[in-house]
Structure 1
């Protein structure tokens, strides 16, 4: 351990009870994180079900931190936008159920210039998936912290609890670039129609 860390540990845990309290709290980290996310989910649901609807778009949430927006005419398994945990990170991405839609054809269509507005609706694209996940923006949220733009699920939990309006505002801004842009919505609808399996 570096000297600085050893000094911090010495100052924080010089008392055995402080160390044991830390260990106990560490064991509860996931439960606390999940509770904070559940509280945020209630705010998200109110925002997207009551306060900020978009014509032609549906919204569902489930579990602890999963939120999905989809074109109502195409259904929740079509090419849609999903915010969720993915390998410890928190992603905003295009997703499709390849059992019902031709995922290979979707990937090919998204590479054409006609569908550039869909790609441009992302603030950034961190990776391109080859399975159900098509375009992925990972951890791209900003709160004036040193690790802005690269926040994982655990770090975002703090903002979900202590700065929920700032967090919700960023998610809303991201999704509204899809839901409230007629061109992007029309292109997504076109892709879904062209790639739906019979």
Structure 2
């Protein structure tokens, strides 16, 4: 089932998610719905707070980064991303290392805005998968970037929180318009300042 994605300005996006356990109700169905919702919106990651669940769960499918147009050289940062599809439950980023690099990030909850965000290139993360198997893994390049972005969501952080005060001022009106639903998106969204019809 395709779920509405929560738009910028909703309090749930600023709230730290809670850890869950194996008894979390309908977890398999939730994960299935999250993938369906993410693919419908052409995303590469989706965190539970973005579909109105304040829990520490996010999914990624970085395969689009591995696609190469005819005549183009493969991007070394996208190495190993073909079929890179994962579920992260109760994740903890244990370590971030390397020299920060900029990449124009976007977000399904903040459509039509992309801004450079600086992040460290390598992370070590521990998490449980959908079978409750524990993992501790190291990622770099785009994989690390996508994971860091989604991990921020379960900590109540948005990519816009990483921007300079000047950048934030420059996009303030666009952010307010998103909150009001004054943005054209090709997927279902729920906007905090749109009054529901009775």
Q: TM-score, normalised by structure 1?
A: 0.28
Compare the two structures and name the one with the higher helix fraction.
1
Larger Rg: 1
Q: TM-score, normalised by structure 2?
A: 0.28
Compare the two structures and name the one with the higher strand fraction.
2
